Structure 1
Amino acid sequence: MTSTIVEVDFLDPRAVDLRARMAAEMSGLYGAPRHVGAEDIDPASVVSCLLVLDGETPVGTVSLRRLGDLVEVKRMFLLPQTRGTGLAPRLLAAIEGRAGAVTDRVVLHTGERQRAAIALYERSGYRPIEVYPPYDQVPESVCFAKSLAPPTTT
């Protein structure tokens, strides 16, 4: 698979479709959403949205948003057929690169049943932190943070 990662608008229909597929997958994993509102994203809060293309076909997405004083990685999703190909670490590194332009620390939220995601985050240098709002209302929440290298000046 030859893939490219491009920046798109958060409301790009291809990214919206992938986030809908993620929501369906998460509903299968956790059941019907019980905590409506905890996952809402105001498009105005989005700093960056990336799309992974295999040729012209969208196969993954991730976003970065401001959540109060935090900068948060959101909605990282790859289609099942792309998992295990090394694309996830590439996509995570790409969004961290965007984050480095606006912060020296990123946070993220996932669920305790998403073992592969948790393993990826831990391998990528994320460390567990206390669950932060609004996810403190979601019992299966797991949160992580990663310090980013400060930008170098020349």
Structure 2
Amino acid sequence: MTARIVEVDFLDPRAVALRSRMAEEMAELYGEARHGTGAEGIDPDSVLACLLVLDGDDPVGTVSLRRLRDLVEIKRMYLMPSTRGTGLAARLLAEIEARAGAVTDRVVLHTGERQRAAIALYARSGYEPIEVYPPYDRVPESVCFAKHLDGTDSV
């Protein structure tokens, strides 16, 4: 696979379609009730960057970066199952971190406790667990992480 990562609008239909696929996977993993918390809504005006991974012309991954109050948060990182285990996730994460580094020295993210591969990726990439922050404090399976982009260890 020769994947390239491009920046697109958050509402680009290819990114929207991938986020829909992600929502379907999360509904299977956690059940439909998880999506009733209101914790996952993203205001497009809060989005600082949206990246799309293309394999040729086929969209195979996406991730976004947004402002959430005083935080800069990585959101909706998703790769098609066929691309998982190829190193593409680490590459995509590094690309969105580079965008984050232009506006902050600390980035946060939220995932769920059942997403073991994602948690392992974040740990390998230097993320440290932090207290669950709003609005995810209403989601029982929440796990949150932070990373200092300037290389310091304290989160």
Q: Which amino acid aligns with 1:29?
A: L
Q: How many residues align?
A: 150
Following TM superposition, where does structure 1 have runs of at least 4 consecutive aligned residues deviating by more than 3 angstroms?
33-36
Q: Which amino acid aligns with 1:128?
A: P
Aligned counterparts, 1:1-154, within 5 A = 1-34=1-34, 35-149=36-150
Q: Which amino acid aligns with 1:15?
A: A
Q: Which amino acid aligns with 1:69?
A: D
Could you tell me how far 1:125 is from its partner in structure 2?
Answer: 0.2
Could you tell me how far 1:114 is from its partner in structure 2?
Answer: 0.1
Per-residue CA distance 1:52-83 (angstroms, 9 max, x = gap): 00000000000000000000000000000000
Instruction: Give secondary structure in 2 for the equivalent of 1:33.
Output: helix
Q: Name the CA distance, whole Å, in 2 between partners of 1:91 and 1:149.
A: 18
Q: Which amino acid aligns with 1:129?
A: I
Q: TM-score, normalised by structure 2?
A: 0.95
Q: Name the CA distance, whole Å, in 2 between partners of 1:60 and 1:36.
A: 25
Counterpart contact for 2:37–2:138, Cα < 8 Å: no
Could you list the runs of 5+ residues in structure 1 that have no partner in the other structure?
none
Q: TM-score, normalised by structure 1?
A: 0.96
Q: Name the CA distance, whole Å, in 1 between partners of 2:68 and 2:85.
A: 30
Could you list the runs of 5+ residues in structure 2 that have no partner in the other structure?
none
Counterpart contact for 2:37–2:139, Cα < 8 Å: no
Identity in percent = 79
Could you tell me how far 1:95 is from its partner in structure 2?
Answer: 0.1
Stretch deviating more after TM superposition (29-38 or 129-138): 29-38
Q: Name the CA distance, whole Å, in 2 between partners of 1:4 and 1:11.
A: 19
Instruction: Give secondary structure in 1 for the equivalent of 2:32.
Output: coil
Per-residue CA distance 1:87-141 (angstroms, 9 max, x = gap): 0000000000000000000000000000000000000000000000000000000
Instruction: Give secondary structure in 1 for the equivalent of 2:126.
Output: coil
C-alpha RMSD over aligned residues: 0.9
Instruction: Give secondary structure in 2 for the equivalent of 1:122.
Output: helix
Could you tell me how far 1:37 is from its partner in structure 2?
Answer: 1.2
Counterpart contact for 2:129–2:146, Cα < 8 Å: yes
Could you tell me how far 1:4 is from its partner in structure 2?
Answer: 0.2
Q: Name the CA distance, whole Å, in 1 between partners of 2:96 and 2:33.
A: 26
